[in-house]
C-alpha cells in the first residue's frame, strides 16, 4: 500500500511503484468486511473439502466442550496449552489466526494450508473433530511442548502494525455466515475502545480514503496516475481488497491464481519457485525497466 500511495503523493521523488499485495480498497466499506476470511475459507476448501468441513464444524464442538464442567481443562489438556484456558475464545482466536496466517503466507515449497489440512485429514491424534483440529495445529506448528497461549515476545513489526491500524489504517475485517468461521462482524465501537485502551488514540476510519482516495479508483487514477504495478496472489486473503484489473496502460494489475502475500518480492529460490512465479517477476522487471528507459529518454529530449 505504502509504495502505491508514495508514488501518488510524491511522483517527483518516486519514478514508479511495485505495490505487492496492497489492499488499498479495504477501507471505508469499499470492500465487504468478510472479504479477507472468505478467501481464507476458499483456500482451505480448495485444499480439502473434508478439512474445510472439519474446521467449519469445530467451533460449535469447542463451545460444547467448553460449556461442560471442567470443559476448559479438557480443552487445555487436549491442545497442550501453555497455561490453562480462560475461555473458549482464547482457543478459537488462536485457531482463527493460525488458519489466516497459513492462507496469507501459503508460500511454496511448504504450502502451509496443505500442511494444516494434511494434519486434520490425517487424524493422527484421533478421529473426533477436536482431535483432528489439534492434529492440524501440530502439523503446522511442529512438535512443541505447548501451544495456543505461549509467552508473548512481540516484535517491532507486530507492535508497529497494530499501532498503524489504530492510528491510521482502519481495515474493517470481519466474518459472516458464508465463511468457515463463526460470525464475528467488525465492530467499530469496540475497535475504537481497544485502540484507546492500548495507545490512547482514537482511530480515524475515514482518514485513508480522505487522504489517498479509494472510491471509484479506476475513474480517478486513470486520469492522473502512472507507473504503478498492483500485484496480487489470489490465495492471499488481502487480495480481496486489492486492485485486480488494469486501470490504464501504466497502472496495471498482475494477479496470480496460486500466489500468496508479497510472494513476488520475497527472495527468489531457484529450486522451489514455480514457473508462474518466475514469469511474474520477469514481467514486473520488464515493466519497471520500461519506466526507467522512458524516463531517461524523456530527460534526454528536454536537454
- Please give the C-alpha separations between residue 138 and each of 4, 46, 143, 249, in angstroms, as whole numbers: 38, 21, 6, 47
Indicate the fold that domain 36-141 takes in CATH: 1.20.120
Q: Would you list the domain boundaries of the chain?
A: 2-28+208-301, 36-141, 156-207
Report the chain's terminal Cα–Cα distance, integer Å: 35
In this prediction, residues 85-97 reach a mean pLDDT of 97
How much of the chain, in percent, has pLDDT values that exceed 70?
A: 100
The string of DSSP codes covering 183-227 is -B---HHHHHHHHHHHHS----TTHHHHHT-BTBHHHHHTTT--S
Q: Does domain 2-28+208-301 have CATH number 3.40.50.1820?
A: yes
Q: Quick one: pLDDT at residue 212?
A: 95
Residue 303 has pLDDT above 90, yes or no: no
In this prediction, residues 98-117 reach a mean pLDDT of 97
Report how far residue 121's alpha carbon sits from residue 248's, in angstroms, rounded to the nearest whole number: 45
How much of the chain, in percent, has pLDDT values that exceed 90?
A: 96
What are the start-end ranges of the E strands in the chain?
17-20, 228-233, 251-256
Q: What is the pLDDT of residues 263-300, one digit of tens each?
A: 999 999 999 999 999 999 999 999 999 999 999 999 99
- Please give the C-alpha separations between residue 231 and each of 10, 228, 238, 253, in angstroms, as whole numbers: 20, 10, 11, 6
Report how far residue 162's alpha carbon sits from residue 147's, in angstroms, rounded to the nearest whole number: 23
pLDDT confidence tier of residue 39, bands split at 50, 70 and 90: very high
Does the fold of domain 36-141 match that of domain 2-28+208-301? no
Where is pLDDT greater, at 157 or 83?
Answer: 83
Look-up of cell digits 498482475 = 254
CA angle 233, 49, 76 (to 5 degrees): 95
The string of DSSP codes covering 72-91 is HHHHHHHTTBSS--SSHHHH
Burial of 255 (0-12, 13-18, 19+ CB in 10 A): middle
Q: pTM, whole model, 2 decimals?
A: 0.96
Q: Which of 233, 288, 287, 228 is nearest to 252 (CA)?
A: 228
Other C-beta atoms within 10 Å of 89: how many?
15
Q: Quick one: pLDDT at residue 275?
A: 97
Report how far residue 139's alpha carbon sits from residue 111's, in angstroms, rounded to the nearest whole number: 12
DSSP 295: H
Q: Quick one: pLDDT at residue 221?
A: 96
Q: Do 66 and 90 touch, CB atoms closer than 8 A?
A: no
User: Any residues with CB less than 8 A from the CB of 291 and at least 6 apart, and which?
Assistant: 15, 16, 227, 250
Q: What is the pLDDT of residues 133-191, one digit of tens each?
A: 999 999 999 999 999 998 888 889 889 999 999 999 999 999 999 999 999 999 999 99
Look-up of cell digits 536537454 = 303
- Looking at every residue in the chain, the average pLDDT score rounds to 96
3-class DSSP state of 230: strand
What number of residues does the chain have?
303
Amino acid at each position: 500500500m505504502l509504495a502505491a500511495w508514495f508514488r501518488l503523493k510524491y511522483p517527483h521523488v518516486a519514478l514508479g511503484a511495485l505495490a505487492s499485495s496492497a489492499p488499498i480498497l479495504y477501507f471505508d466499506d469499499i470492500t465487504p468486511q468478510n472479504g479477507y476470511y472468505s478467501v481464507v475459507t476458499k483456500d482451505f476448501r480448495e485444499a480439502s473439502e473434508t478439512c474445510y468441513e472439519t474446521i467449519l464444524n469445530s467451533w460449535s464442538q469447542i463451545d460444547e466442550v467448553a460449556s461442560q464442567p471442567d470443559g476448559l481443562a479438557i480443552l487445555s489438556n487436549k491442545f497442550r496449552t501453555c497455561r490453562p484456558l480462560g475461555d473458549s475464545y482464547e482457543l478459537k482466536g488462536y485457531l482463527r489466526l493460525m488458519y489466516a496466517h497459513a492462507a496469507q503466507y501459503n508460500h511454496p515449497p511448504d504450502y502451509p494450508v496443505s500442511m494444516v489440512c494434511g494434519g486434520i485429514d490425517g487424524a493422527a491424534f484421533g478421529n473426533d473433530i477436536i482431535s483432528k483440529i489439534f492434529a492440524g495445529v501440530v502439523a503446522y506448528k511442529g512438535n512443541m511442548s505447548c501451544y495456543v497461549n505461549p509467552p508473548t515476545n512481540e516484535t517491532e513489526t507486530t507492535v508497529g502494525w497494530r499501532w498503524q491500524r489504530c492510528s491510521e489504517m482502519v481495515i474493517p475485517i470481519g466474518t459472516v455466515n458464508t465463511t468457515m468461521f463463526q460470525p464475528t462482524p467488525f465492530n467499530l465501537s469496540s475497535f475504537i475502545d481497544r485502540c484507546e485502551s492500548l495507545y490512547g488514540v482514537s482511530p480515524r476510519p475515514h482518514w485513508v480514503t480522505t487522504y489517498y482516495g479509494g472510491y471509484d479508483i479506476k475513474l480517478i487514477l486513470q486520469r492522473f496516475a502512472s507507473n504503478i504495478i498492483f500485484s496480487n496472489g489470489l490465495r492471499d486473503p488481502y487480495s480481496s481488497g486489492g486492485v485486480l484489473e488494469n486501470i490504464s496502460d501504466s497502472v496495471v494489475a498482475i494477479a496470480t491464481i496460486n500466489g500468496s502475500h508479497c510472494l513476488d518480492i520475497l527472495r527468489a529460490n531457484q529450486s522451489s519457485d514455480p514457473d508462474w512465479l518466475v514469469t511474474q517477476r520477469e514481467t514486473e522487471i520488464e515493466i519497471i525497466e520500461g519506466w526507467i528507459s522512458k524516463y531517461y529518454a524523456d530527460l534526454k529530449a528536454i536537454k
